């Protein structure tokens, strides 16, 4: 894994000589040293672009894998982050066509494939995760390319008229003249979801390249109007084609899934450095580890962490799976103090506000793994592909109940409840809890009243996904922009609500939350994380499965479970799904209270002028007193405040 950065010449950069431009690019790359501590390089041939690279050596650790790298014919220069796992077979094809190779890296194969087949055809042949910056010296054009699912990050934008790109926003901050103006529309999106959906970032004029996209930037580009953004792989087309070509034979489908997944795992086990896997004991990570061990001559290294708080602890289940599979297992029970020590590191780690609190244990398990290996496989992606999230079924249950009522009645009732002060709602909430024996509160009643007003199940799901329900009212001069989830036509692609919810998550939550989390947490300790369940061949095949092969008798991920039971007894993995979380709510009342108090101090909030101070303070006071549970919403604000302080 690596870090990439660079820029096209502009009035500011072209006035510098070659040595100065190289120094600027190296400075950007040095900000990404954690992504690539093993080697560094920069390249400028005086024709319009400067490229830089930081290398974490995984395949061909010799100097022959050094980047930036030129193609054999000298036309293309590349700086690249990621892995093309099928490079060995591609290399054989290219050898047969007369291509010669100096070393054994996949970077050389990428360049040769582009040279022989062209960019678009080469991309269709690549199986992997990657962000690529490719300079075409003949056309004087820069190509930025991101992998199909968005596993690897790639940012771009403008700094004082110069087109700049990098693996992380740290690279932009290292570019001379970067102002870092905060985009308040992006801040509204962040408060809505706990992450900033692509293509926006927290900074004005800086963007995320969307998954499966190829951006062409000609020399002399002066603004967004000069760029050409193409889709080389469309998840929408994959989903729509798959739903019209469903597999019908379950035995054949299971065999096909197993064959693709075994190959996906085998390809991701190719490494010239020590390799292991994260193991939580759940379905996805257990399946990945089982297929690794089935194809390994020695015990696979596996890693898990545990917590003393039982509701957050998965270590015992992971240990049982590891014992059954015969892996070389390492676990670490994390003290609250060790977890708390991670929190000051988060703003530096994530570059922009990011409020998924499982970022803490994800970093801790990455650090544990890095003590023994350089590459670790992960089970991310199974929930989105095979309908595994509990919230899908909760959404459908709520919709079945409320859709019996006329919409006009639901809206009237919802407006009536949301218009009442929370103090009035405390008594009915307490009565509801006593009758139903389910947790109820004024907050939950208000949330439910808001959901009552949903016109369809997709709108209901969008409401359930939200954190702050009215970020525009919370952010000073805030405005919610249009984005993927705000337009149901983007993601309501099926008559089956379950498929729509999975499709929405694959386009937003997966790349912008889950994959961002694992990339930054692992890269912070120079660990490469690989995700075999997101092999694009498996993604495409998953959309060819009818829902009866994903969900059966109330059990999700039926196909994955059926495959897993061939390797692991059912009783070892069948348990209620747990989130990879930490007890943030209690910590905010205890060991994190002073830290949070300083970030939410009234005078400070007024001086910074980003939020409605009164609303923030009321929620903080109510949470600290124990009257309310506002930690999910407060964590959003605290992560922004901590990030802002870090700036």
Read off the tokens for 22: 């190289």
pLDDT in tens, 213-266: 999 999 988 888 999 999 999 999 999 999 999 999 999 999 999 999 999 999
Mean pLDDT of 633-643: 97
CA–CA dist 449, 469 (Å, integer): 12
Residues in the chain: 647
Residue with tokens 């065999």: 255
* pTM, to two decimals: 0.94
End-to-end CA distance of the chain: 26
In this structure, of 190-199, 484-493, 581-590, the range with the lowest mean pLDDT score is 581-590
What's the chain's average pLDDT?
A: 92
Query: What percentage of the chain reaches a pLDDT higher than 70?
Result: 93
Q: Which residues of 66-83 are buried (b: 16+ CB within 10 A; e: fewer)?
A: bbbbbbeeeebbbbbbbb
CA–CA dist 396, 434 (Å, integer): 25
Q: Supply the pLDDT for residue 423.
A: 64
Do 2-233 and 237-387+508-573 show the same overall fold? no
- What fold is seen in the domain 2-233? 3.60.20
Inform me whether the pLDDT recorded for 576 exceeds 80: no
Mean pLDDT of 148-164: 95
Long-range contacts of the stretch 335-338 (C-beta < 8 A, 24+)? 335/308, 336/308, 336/587, 336/591, 337/591, 338/364
pLDDT in tens, 59-110: 777 788 899 999 999 999 999 999 999 999 999 999 999 999 998 999 999 9
pLDDT in tens, 319-367: 999 999 999 999 988 888 888 899 999 999 999 999 999 999 999 999 9
Active-site annotation, residues: 2
Inform me whether the pLDDT recorded for 9 exceeds 90: no
Instruction: Choose among 499, 531, 496: nearest CA to 516.
Output: 531
Inform me whether the pLDDT recorded for 434 exceeds 60: no
Indicate the pLDDT class of residue 414, thresholds 50, 70 and 90. confident
Q: Supply the pLDDT for residue 579.
A: 57
Indicate the pLDDT class of residue 436, thresholds 50, 70 and 90. very low
CA–CA dist 333, 8 (Å, integer): 48
Indicate the pLDDT class of residue 14, thresholds 50, 70 and 90. low
Query: Beta strand 162-166 with 155-159: parallel, antiparallel or unpaired?
Result: antiparallel
Inform me whether the pLDDT recorded for 437 exceeds 60: no
Instruction: Choose among 510, 507, 413, 496: nearest CA to 454.
Output: 413
Per-range mean pLDDT, top range of 35-49, 216-230, 281-295, 435-449: 281-295
For the chain, give every domain's residue range. 2-233, 237-387+508-573, 390-504, 584-646
Q: Is 133 exposed, middle or buried (0-12, 13-18, 19+ CB in 10 A)?
A: buried
H helices present in 475-601, as ranges: 497-507, 509, 515-523, 536-542, 558-564, 570-573, 584-589, 593-599
- What fold is seen in the domain 237-387+508-573? Rossmann fold (3.40.50)
CA–CA dist 542, 576 (Å, integer): 23
Query: What percentage of the chain reaches a pLDDT higher than 90?
Result: 76
Mean pLDDT of 188-214: 97
Q: What angle do CA 268, 273, 278 make, to 5 degrees?
A: 55
Query: Beta strand 2-8 with 275-278: parallel, antiparallel or unpaired?
Result: unpaired
| CB within 8 Å of 195: residues ≥ 6 apart | 354, 355, 356, 512, 513, 516
Q: Supply the pLDDT for residue 337.
A: 86
> Residue 552: phi, psi to the nearest 5?
-145, 130
Mean pLDDT of 615-644: 93
Inform me whether the pLDDT recorded for 183 exceeds 60: yes
pLDDT in tens, 102-136: 989 999 999 999 999 999 999 999 999 999 999 99
Indicate the pLDDT class of residue 604, thresholds 50, 70 and 90. very high
H helices present in 31-118, as ranges: 87-96, 106-117
Question: Which residue(s) pair with 486 in the sheet?
Answer: none
Q: Supply the pLDDT for residue 278.
A: 97
Strand 206-208: give its sheet, edge to edge.
39-44, 49-55, 2-8, 162-166, 155-159, 206-208
């Amino acid at each position: 894994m690596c870090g990439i950065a660079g820029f096209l010449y502009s009035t500011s950069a072209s006035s510098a000589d070659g040595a100065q431009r190289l120094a600027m690019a190296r400075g950007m790359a040095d900000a990404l040293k954690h992504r690539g501590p093993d080697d560094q390089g920069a390249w400028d041939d005086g024709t319009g672009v400067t490229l830089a690279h930081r290398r974490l050596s995984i395949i061909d650790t010799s100097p022959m894998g050094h980047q930036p790298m030129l193609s054999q014919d000298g036309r293309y220069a590349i700086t690249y982050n990621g892995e093309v796992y099928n490079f060995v077979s591609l290399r054989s094809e290219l050898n047969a066509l007369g291509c010669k190779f100096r070393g054994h890296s996949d970077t050389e194969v990428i360049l040769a494939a582009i040279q022989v087949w062209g960019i678009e055809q080469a991309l269709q042949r690549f199986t992997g995760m990657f962000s690529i910056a490719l300079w075409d010296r003949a056309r004087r054009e820069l190509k930025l390319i991101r992998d199909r699912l968005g596993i690897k990050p790639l940012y771009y934008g403008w700094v004082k008229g110069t087109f700049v790109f990098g693996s992380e926003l740290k690279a932009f901050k290292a570019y001379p003249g970067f102002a870092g103006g905060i985009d308040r529309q992006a801040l509204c999106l962040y408060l809505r979801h706990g992450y900033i959906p692509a293509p926006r970032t927290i900074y004005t004029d800086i963007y995320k390249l969307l998954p499966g996209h190829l951006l062409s930037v000609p020399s002399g580009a002066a603004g967004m109007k000069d760029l050409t953004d193409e889709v080389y792989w469309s998840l929408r087309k994959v989903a729509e084609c798959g739903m019209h070509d469903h597999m019908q034979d379950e035995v054949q489908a299971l065999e096909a899934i197993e064959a693709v997944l075994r190959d996906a795992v085998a390809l991701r086990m190719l490494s010239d450095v020590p390799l292991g896997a994260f193991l939580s004991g759940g379905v996805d990570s257990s399946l990945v580890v089982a297929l690794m061990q089935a194809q390994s001559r020695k015990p696979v290294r596996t890693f898990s962490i545990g917590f003393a708080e039982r509701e957050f602890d998965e270590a015992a289940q992971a240990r049982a799976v590891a014992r059954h599979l015969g892996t070389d297992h390492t676990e670490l029970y994390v003290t609250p103090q060790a977890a708390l020590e991670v929190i000051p590191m988060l703003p530096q780690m994530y570059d922009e506000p990011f409020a998924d609190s499982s970022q803490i244990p994800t970093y801790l398990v990455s650090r544990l793994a890095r003590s023994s290996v350089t590459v670790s496989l992960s089970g991310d992606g199974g929930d989105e592909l095979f309908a595994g999230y509990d919230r899908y079924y909760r959404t459908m249950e709520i919709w079945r109940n409320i859709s019996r009522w006329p919409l006009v009645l639901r809206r009237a009732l919802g407006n009536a409840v949301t218009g009442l002060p929370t103090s009035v709602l405390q008594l009915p909430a307490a009565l509801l809890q006593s009758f139903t024996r389910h947790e109820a509160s004024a907050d939950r009643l208000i949330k439910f009243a808001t959901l009552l007003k949903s016109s369809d199940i997709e709108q209901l799901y969008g409401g359930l996904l939200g954190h702050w329900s009215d970020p525009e009212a919370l952010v000073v001069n805030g405005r919610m922009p249009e984005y993927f989830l705000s337009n149901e036509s983007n993601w309501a692609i099926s008559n089956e609500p379950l498929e729509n919810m999975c499709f929405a998550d694959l386009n937003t939550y997966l790349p912008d939350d889950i994959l961002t989390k694992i990339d930054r947490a692992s890269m912070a300790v120079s660990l490469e994380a690989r995700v075999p369940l997101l092999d694009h061949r498996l993604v495409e095949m998953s959309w060819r499965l009818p829902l009866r092969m994903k969900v059966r008798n109330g059990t999700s991920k039926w196909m994955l479970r059926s495959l897993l039971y061939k390797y692991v007894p059912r009783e070892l993995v069948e348990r209620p799904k747990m989130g990879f979380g930490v007890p943030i709510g209690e910590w905010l009342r205890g060991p994190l209270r002073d830290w949070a108090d300083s970030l939410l101090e009234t005078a400070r909030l007024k001086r910074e002028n980003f939020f409605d101070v009164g609303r923030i303070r009321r929620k903080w006071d109510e949470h600290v007193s124990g009257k309310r549970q506002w930690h999910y919403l407060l964590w959003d604000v605290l992560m922004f405040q901590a990030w802002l302080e870090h700036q």
